[in-house]
């Protein structure tokens, strides 16, 4: 029995050394990250509830042109009254998007021009 415990200890140690010796890599390449601590500037209305929870982390890439955005992408933008909003692009125009919160019944009552779109959400990590 002691021999089995010794063998298990060696195997566990070998596994830990090989697993933990590799450098930790980012799960995705991203430009910016928003954690639940930062949500006060973005979230609070529940408009993206279930897709984005109060404890989730958003991984974002900078949007440089409309080519970076596709229909159904979640985007971070500044509204005409200077509010930071994270909603889904449901229709793409030449230089703007029509957006909607996943938990809202109707589309937003404004069109978001490309210059107001700051980031695209590339991943959401749930806790």
Residue 41: which pLDDT band, with cuts at 50, 70 and 90?
A: low
Residue 82: which pLDDT band, with cuts at 50, 70 and 90?
A: confident
Does residue 77 have a pLDDT over 50?
Answer: yes
Decide: 92 and 66 in contact? Cβ < 8 Å.
Answer: yes
pTM score of the predicted model: 0.72
Q: Name the burial class of residue 44, with classes exposed (0-12), middle (13-18) and buried (19+) by CB atoms within 10 angstroms of its CB.
A: exposed
Residue 58: which pLDDT band, with cuts at 50, 70 and 90?
A: confident
Instruction: Please give the C-alpha separations between residue 94 and each of 90, 91, 109, 113, in angstroms, as whole numbers.
Output: 14, 10, 18, 9
- Residues 16-26 have pLDDT tens digits of 444 444 444 45
Domains annotated on the chain, with CATH: 28-125 (2.10.109.10)
| pLDDT given for residue 123 in this prediction | 87
Instruction: Please give the C-alpha separations between residue 43 and each of 18, 49, 50, 69, 88, in angstroms, as whole numbers.
Output: 41, 9, 12, 21, 14
Average pLDDT value for residue range 17-40:
52
What does 15-42 look like in DSSP terms, one character per residue? HHHHHHTSPP--SS--SEEE-GGGGGGT
């Amino acid at each position: 029995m002691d021999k089995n415990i010794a063998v298990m200890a060696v195997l566990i140690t070998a596994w830990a050394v090989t697993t933990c010796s590799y450098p930790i890599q980012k799960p995705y390449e991203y430009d910016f990250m928003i954690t639940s601590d930062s949500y006060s500037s973005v979230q609070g209305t529940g408009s993206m509830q279930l897709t984005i929870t109060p404890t989730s982390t958003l991984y974002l890439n900078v949007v440089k042109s409309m080519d970076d955005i596709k229909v159904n992408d979640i985007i971070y933008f500044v509204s005409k009254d200077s509010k930071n909003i994270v909603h889904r692009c449901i229709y793409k125009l030449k230089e703007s998007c029509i957006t909607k919160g996943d938990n809202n019944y109707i589309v937003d009552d404004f069109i978001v021009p490309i210059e107001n779109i700051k980031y695209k959400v590339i991943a959401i990590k749930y806790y």
